[in-house]
Amino acid sequence: MGDIEYTTWQLGGRPIGGMLAMGEEFPPELPSHWRAYFAVEDADATVERIKAAGGDVMYGPVDIPAGRFAVAGDPHRAVFGVIRL
């Protein structure tokens, strides 16, 4: 993940979870947390569908070493990520 140390857990050779230390790039009021990610075929198209359905896009989509991803929230403010690996 570039300059960020990112640990992944794997099951049967496939990543099923990950973890990173929350450094200076995270707002100080943001607590440690878990976030579910959904693998998608097209992160940009998925972001547009999220917006059309009343969700919010909080970050991205952007390219990272693992793929193209975004962080979004549903209309009830549940936060999740989408990623095109």
pLDDT given at position 69: 94
pLDDT given at position 1: 53
**What's the rounded Cα separation, in Å, for the pair 54 and 51?**
5
Torsion, Cα of 41, 46, 48, 52 (10° steps) = 140
Find the domain containing 75 and state its range.
6-84
Q: How many domains does the chain have?
A: 1
What is the β-pairing status of strands 67-73 and 79-84?
antiparallel
Nearest CA-CA partner of 33 in 79, 74, 82, 84? 79
Nearest CA-CA partner of 50 in 17, 14, 76, 85? 76
pLDDT at 17 over 90: no
Residue 1 maps to a domain: no
Cβ count near 18 (within 10 Å): 14
pLDDT given at position 16: 83
* Each residue's pLDDT tens digit, 20-46: 888 888 889 988 888 899 999 999 999
CATH number assigned to the domain comprising residue 44: 3.10.180.10
**pTM score:** 0.77
